[in-house]
């Protein structure tokens, strides 16, 4: 594939997965990750994905800004910030083959988790902060953990715009922490940062499109598509890692 076609394919993937996230509330990052892995390699893929996801999630926060539960984001951040920093430090020194296999296993676990725990019990604030810690650590290693944390946000009674905006705001916190550590450790290079920023318009457009259709299309259809993609990608990474 020529360089121009590769760029167009990556931009199309960024747009499509951002739209899916805006409709289903999760899945864009983990579905985009295999595309980035194939094009950029494991370490650059997670760094570039972090920049792209910052734009995608930031757009979702903006489009749903009046419905964001700021208190819940703060509770989540109490656990997510230190854990994301610790996970990002570990990520910078992890061997690439091991990272590839970890990501492959993670993608398969996402599907199993979604099927096993489509709903979760409402957690108190302390337990929700612990979810934030687990999410921050996992996000630093594999790029995105949206499908795993989605049930816990939904269990707090958030729906549609409130759920999508609040979950996205929590993700923004994690991505910002990761970018600081990646930059300090030279994992986030000028080139990878520019690539991620170049994908920002496509991610923002996808978030806008998803916001427009969120009340019109059945979410289960998107969920099934996401899960099929995750299974296929996870198996491929385990086989080739």
Query: Alpha-carbon distance 16 to 125, whole Å?
Result: 34
Query: Alpha-carbon distance 208 to 56, whole Å?
Result: 9
Residues 6+ apart with CB under 8 A from 179: 50, 51, 54, 188
* Domain region containing 152: 3-240
As for how many domains the chain has, the answer is 1
Residue-wise pLDDT tens for the chain (241 aa)? 566 677 788 888 888 877 777 766 666 676 777 788 788 887 788 888 888 888 888 888 998 889 999 999 999 999 999 999 998 888 877 776 776 677 678 778 777 876 776 666 678 899 999 989 988 888 887 777 776 777 788 788 887 778 888 988 999 999 999 989 888 877 788 888 888 888 888 888 887 887 777 656 566 766 676 667 667 767 766 775 5
**pLDDT at residue 152 in the model:** 82
- In the numeric block, which tokens belong to residue 74? 């703060």
Whole-structure pTM value: 0.75
Query: Alpha-carbon distance 68 to 12, whole Å?
Result: 28
Nearest to 53 by CA among 28, 36, 31: 28
Q: What is the DSSP letter of 217?
A: S
**pLDDT at residue 240 in the model:** 57
Query: Alpha-carbon distance 203 to 197, whole Å?
Result: 10
**pLDDT at residue 130 in the model:** 92
Q: How would you class 180 by CB atoms within 10 Å of its CB: exposed for 0-12, middle for 13-18, buried for 19 or more?
A: middle
**pLDDT at residue 209 in the model:** 81
């Amino acid at each position: 594939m020529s360089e121009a076609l590769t760029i167009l394919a990556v931009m199309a993937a960024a747009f499509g997965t951002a739209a899916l996230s805006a409709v289903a509330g999760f899945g864009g990052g983990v579905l985009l990750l295999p595309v980035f892995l194939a094009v950029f390699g494991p370490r650059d893929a997670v760094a570039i994905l972090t920049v792209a996801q910052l734009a995608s999630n930031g757009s979702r926060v903006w489009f749903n800004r009046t419905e964001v539960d700021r208190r819940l984001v703060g509770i989540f951040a109490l656990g997510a910030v230190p854990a994301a920093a610790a996970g990002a430090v570990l990520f910078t020194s992890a061997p690439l083959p091991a990272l590839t296999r970890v990501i492959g296993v993670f993608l398969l676990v996402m599907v199993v988790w979604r099927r096993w725990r489509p709903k979760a019990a409402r957690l108190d604030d302390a337990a929700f902060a612990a979810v934030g810690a687990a999410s921050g650590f996992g996000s630093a290693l594999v790029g995105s953990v949206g499908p795993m944390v989605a049930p816990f946000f939904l269990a707090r009674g958030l729906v549609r715009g409130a759920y999508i905006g609040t979950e996205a705001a929590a993700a923004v916190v994690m991505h910002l922490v990761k970018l600081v550590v990646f930059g300090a450790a030279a994992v986030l290079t000028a080139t990878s940062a520019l690539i991620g920023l170049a994908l920002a318009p496509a991610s923002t457009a996808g978030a806008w499109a998803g916001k427009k259709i969120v009340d019109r299309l059945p979410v289960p259809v998107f969920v099934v598509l996401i899960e099929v993609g995750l299974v296929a990608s996870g198996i491929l990474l385990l086989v080739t890692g």
